[in-house]
């Protein structure tokens, strides 16, 4: 299949592009390299040395014999170029990773709030609009987040995969309807993902665009069977207070003996998935598109659920590094329960990488190798939800 990977230079997009190229698909990466630019502005770097795009692509050609093309496009701001790119490549599938994805960054200032809304909402609307205008019948696979559901308010009931059956009392008696699960975003970033959902529902209904929305948990891990083939293919590993995801931050902190930064009591319960499973899920989603005219298909792209303090305890026991409970910069429930329905991917054959299998490998192979490059001043989370 011909596949456009929007945001294919990023943490999830790069290993997905390699995985799909390796599986024989014709992959074109579309990216504006804004994530690299944000690193420059924040004065942080990935723990792992990420090569420039042209080096990444040349190395992939050398080790695999396969070609991945690259188009430099800002999909939020350069609509005509995006449209021309879609018309030129006529993809069967478009995978959409190209959004500002850090909740703390989105809450940093009025500039980052406005940038996140402008970038993410325009990006999604432009892709959908360009699909309609071009007439290219591509299946759109979008990376959403578990955060659209919010945390805790469904009690101990598992979060369903996107839709909820509700009963409505009418004068004629109760009627049953399936609705999008109510949105309950916890940051500006998460809010943009809830807006994405409405756009998908609208364009699927109005224009019969085929959409799959993957509500992904927090991704951990770094390497996939393809990124490990050459150091110039290595995936990024963010550890800073804005872009670092919780488990990767704990692993890096443990490696340098920095007390593990648990915010509040660590009672937050969150859903997780390894990067290797994330790329497999995307491949499964591509193989199982919705039919034209159907509402968007929604999967919960999650393999395990953990409480943050339990994760910290696990890493602490593994490495002997202490835990440091810090004030929580976020405005979120101190403790929450979380159960997630993820039967759809399991039914399609996903075999999850569990934390207990993958953790030690990650500490030894990736974090210890590059820990000499850590800038400790970038570890604290400084973005506040409320000033």
Ligand X SMILES: NC(=O)c1ccc[n+]([C@@H]2O[C@H](COP(=O)([O-])OP(=O)(O)OC[C@H]3O[C@@H](n4cnc5c(N)ncnc54)[C@H](O)[C@@H]3O)[C@@H](O)[C@H]2O)c1
Q: Catalytic amino acids?
A: 145, 189, 193
Q: Which residues pair with 260 in a beta bridge?
A: 323
Distance between CA atoms of residues 251 and 366, nearest Å: 10
Q: Mask 127-166, x = binds ligand X (CB under 6 A)?
A: ----------------x-x---------------------
| Beta strand 304-307 pairing with 269-274 | antiparallel
75 binds ligand X (CB under 6 A): yes
Q: Where are the alpha helices (DSSP H) in 74-147?
A: 79-89, 103-106, 110-134
- Beta carbon nearer to ligand X, 101 or 378: 101
From the CB of 238, what's the least distance to ligand X, in Å? 8
Asked if residue 257 lies in contact with residue 263, where contact means CB atoms within 8 angstroms, the answer is no
Hey, which residues between 237 and 266 contact ligand X (CB under 6 A)?
245
Q: Which stretch binds ligand X (CB under 6 A): 28-36, 290-298, 334-342, 367-375?
A: 28-36
| Beta strand 260-263 pairing with 173-180 | unpaired
Q: Which stretch binds ligand X (CB under 6 A): 2-10, 154-162, 249-257, 290-298?
A: 2-10
**Number of continuous H segments (helices) and E segments (strands) in the chain:** 13, 14
Q: Which of residues 25, 56, 101, 344 is near ligand X by CB under 6 A?
A: 101
From the CB of 53, what's the least distance to ligand X, in Å? 10
Give the closest residue to 104 by CA, choosing from 39, 186, 222, 44.
Answer: 186
108 binds ligand X (CB under 6 A): no
- Beta carbon nearer to ligand X, 210 or 236: 236
271 binds ligand X (CB under 6 A): no
Q: Which stretch binds ligand X (CB under 6 A): 96-104, 157-165, 173-181, 346-354?
A: 96-104
**Residues sharing a CB contact under 8 Å with residue 61, sequence separation 6 or more, in sequence order:** 67, 68
Query: At 60, is the secondary structure helix, strand, or coil?
Result: helix
Q: What is the DSSP string of 284-320?
A: HHHHSPPPTTSPPEEEEE--EEEEHHHHHHHHHHHH-
35 binds ligand X (CB under 6 A): yes
Q: Which stretch binds ligand X (CB under 6 A): 27-35, 127-135, 259-267, 304-312?
A: 27-35
Q: Which of residues 22, 46, 48, 119 is near ligand X by CB under 6 A?
A: 119
- Beta carbon nearer to ligand X, 117 or 259: 117
Asked if residue 48 lies in contact with residue 274, where contact means CB atoms within 8 angstroms, the answer is no
Binding site for ligand X (CB under 6 A): 7, 9-13, 31-35, 74-76, 97-99, 101, 119, 123, 143, 145, 216, 218-219, 245
């Amino acid at each position: 299949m011909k596949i456009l990977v929007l945001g294919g230079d990023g943490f999830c997009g790069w290993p997905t592009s390699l995985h799909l190229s390796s599986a024989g698909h014709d992959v074109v990466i579309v990216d504006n390299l804004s994530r690299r630019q944000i690193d420059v502005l924040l004065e942080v770097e990935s723990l792992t040395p990420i090569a420039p795009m042209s080096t990444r692509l040349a190395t992939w050609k050398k080790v695999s014999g396969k070609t991945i093309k690259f188009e430099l496009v800002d999909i939020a701001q350069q609509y005509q170029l995006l449209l021309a790119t879609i018309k030129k490549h006529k993809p069967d599938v478009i995978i959409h990773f190209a959004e500002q994805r850090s909740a703390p960054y989105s809450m940093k200032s009025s500039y980052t709030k406005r940038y996140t809304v402008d970038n993410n909402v325009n990006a999604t609307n432009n892709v959908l609009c360009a699909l309609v205008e071009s007439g290219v019948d591509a299946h759109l696979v979008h990376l959403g987040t578990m955060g659209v559901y919010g945390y805790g308010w469904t009690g101990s009931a598992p979060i369903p995969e996107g839709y909820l059956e509700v009963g409505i009392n009418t004068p004629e008696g109760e009627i049953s309807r399936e609705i999008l699960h109510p949105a309950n975003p916890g940051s500006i970033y998460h809010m943009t993902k809830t807006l994405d959902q409405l756009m998908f529902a609208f364009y699927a209904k109005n224009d019969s665009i085929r959409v799959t929305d993957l509500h992904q948990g927090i991704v951990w891990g770094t390497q996939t069977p393809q990124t490990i083939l050459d150091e110039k293919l290595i995936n990024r590993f963010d550890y800073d207070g804005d872009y670092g995801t919780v488990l990767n931050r704990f692993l890096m902190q443990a490696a340098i003996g920095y007390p593990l930064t648990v915010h509040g009591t660590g009672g937050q319960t969150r859903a997780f998935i390894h990067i290797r499973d994330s790329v497999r899920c995307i491949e499964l989603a591509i193989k199982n598109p919705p039919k034209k005219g159907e509402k968007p298909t929604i999967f919960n792209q999650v393999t395990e659920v953990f409480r943050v303090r339990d994760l910290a305890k696990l890493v602490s026991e593994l490495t002997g590094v202490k835990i440091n409970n810090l004030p929580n910069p976020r405005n979120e429930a101190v403790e929450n329960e979380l159960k997630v329905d993820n039967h759809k991917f399991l039914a399609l054959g996903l075999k999850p990488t569990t934390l207990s299998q993958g953790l030690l490998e990650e500490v030894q192979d990736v974090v210890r190798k590059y820990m000499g490059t850590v800038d400790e001043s970038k570890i604290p989370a400084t973005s506040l939800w409320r000033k």
